Amino acid sequence: MEIYRIPILQIEDFLVASIQTPLHDAAAIQFKDDLLERIYSTKARGFVLDLTAIDVVDSFMARIVADVAEMAGLMGARVVVTGLQPAVAISLVELGVEMAGVTTALDLDRGIRILRELVAPEREQADG
């Protein structure tokens, strides 16, 4: 069965992915694998995961997101999750699901700005 793969774009040395369709578990896991593979092969310093189009995030999805952030961090990339809808945020908080260690921002624009700030000192170090 063909699993719909989520497109991962590259902007400067950041990666950006925007999830547009409801993800079933197998697709979510596939996405996680694809992403870590891309971070590794591009040596990306940062990754923005945009969830604007997602209207339900349950404990499984939240776990995947938190895992992605942690794993990407181990590979040297910062992750920012953007676009969580108020309804989704409320459900997550009431569900009691923690996305500990996950940086969030209102939208893609803010997300990239935050990534630049987070990554900048590291870059300066690398250049200097």
Partner 1 sequence: MADSLHIPILSDLDIVMARVEGRNMARDLGFGVIDQARIATAISELTRNIVLYAGTGAITLRPIETPQRRGLEIVCADTGPGITDVNLVMREGYSSRRGLGMGLPGTRRLMDEFEIRSKSGEGTVITARKWLR
Partner 2 sequence: MTAEKLSTSQEFERQLAALQRVAGVFGAMRKGQDIYDQITHQVVDLLNVEKCAVLLYDPDQQALVGQAPAVGVPTQDIRGYVIPLAEGSPARQFWEVGDSFVVKDIDADPVVQALGLADFAHKVGVKSTMLVGMRLEGQLIGVIQPSNRRDGLPFDETDARLLTIYASQAAVAIENQRLYQAITAERDRLARVLATVQELSTPVVPVLEGILILPLIGFIDSDRAQRIMEGLLNGIVQYRAQVVILDVTGVPVVDTGVADHLVRAARAAGLLGAQPILVGIRPEVAQTIVGLGVHLHEIATRGDLRDGLEYALAVLHRKIVTAEGQHVGR
Count of residues touching partner 1 (by CB under 8 A): 25
Please give the structure tokens belonging to residue 104. Answer: 């969030």
Give exposure, 75-90, as e/b (b: 16+ Cβ within 10 Å): eebbbbbbbbeeebee
**Residue 121 in the binding site for partner 2 (CB under 8 A):** yes
CA 61 to chain centroid:
11
**Residue 89 in the binding site for partner 2 (CB under 8 A):** yes
Contacts of 44 (CB under 8 A, 6+ apart): 10, 13, 14, 15, 38, 77
Residues 62-81 that bind partner 2 (CB under 8 A): 78
Contacts of 124 (CB under 8 A, 6+ apart): none
Of the candidates 21, 58, 93, 123, which one interacts with partner 2 according to CB under 8 A? 93
**Residue 85 in the binding site for partner 1 (CB under 8 A):** yes
Give residues in contact with partner 2 (CB under 8 A).
78, 82, 84, 86, 88-90, 92-94, 98-106, 110, 114, 117-118, 120-121
Give residues in contact with partner 1 (CB under 8 A).
22-26, 55-60, 62-63, 66, 85-88, 90-92, 94-97
